[in-house]
Amino acid sequence: MSEPRDIEYKNAFYTQLISKALPTIAVIVGLSILSLWVLPRFRDAIWLSWSILVFALVKTYFIVRLSFDQLMKIIGQSHLLSHILVLFGLLISMIIISFAFDFTSLQFFDPQNFKFSYKMGITGIKIFFEHIYFSTITFSSVGYGDVVPISVLAKTLVMLEIGLRFFVLVFGIANINQIRINENK
């Protein structure tokens, strides 16, 4: 990839995107595993639930760093609409899934962190699905009200996701003038 413009015409964009996003994805997966399977074993130490917030802050830092440092280079080299859409799709997916894991971990610590509009079963998959739904609704700022954060920790995580959403939108709007719709080669 000697020419900076090669990224527009070859699969180099996807290779570069994956190579830049892989460390952030690894951090998200690693901290999610830690908060889902390791921390709940120490339910007696309720103060450990606050480590979920610390993990969320670390993941947020990595997502923001990925956006600014790494992906700005990709946007600077490729202005194609399809590349920008893939880029933002990846960012949005990472944010929604990351916070869904955080909300699920918090639910495993103490079911009183969230109020649901109906009684759920106790399966972990149902809980995770509800939190994917809640994270998506929070990210989109629709807020139906059928899942409500109750605890200070849950509310703080929701505010962090909203702040990250705001960042992604501002990031997108700031770069909108660089997008080329016409992809004729």
Tens of pLDDT along the chain (185 residues) come to 445 555 555 677 788 888 888 999 999 999 888 888 877 677 666 677 788 898 999 999 988 888 777 667 776 776 677 777 888 888 899 999 999 999 998 888 888 888 887 666 667 788 889 899 999 999 998 888 888 999 999 999 999 999 999 988 887 777 666 665 555 54
Residue 146 identity (one-letter amino acid) = D
DSSP state of 150: -
On the 0-12 / 13-18 / 19+ scale of CB atoms within 10 A, 75 is: middle
The residue written with tokens 């990250």 in the block is 164
Task: Decide: pTM greater than 0.85.
Answer: no
All structural domains of the chain:
6-178 (1.10.287.70)
Rounded to whole angstroms, the Cα distance separating 170 from 167 reads 5
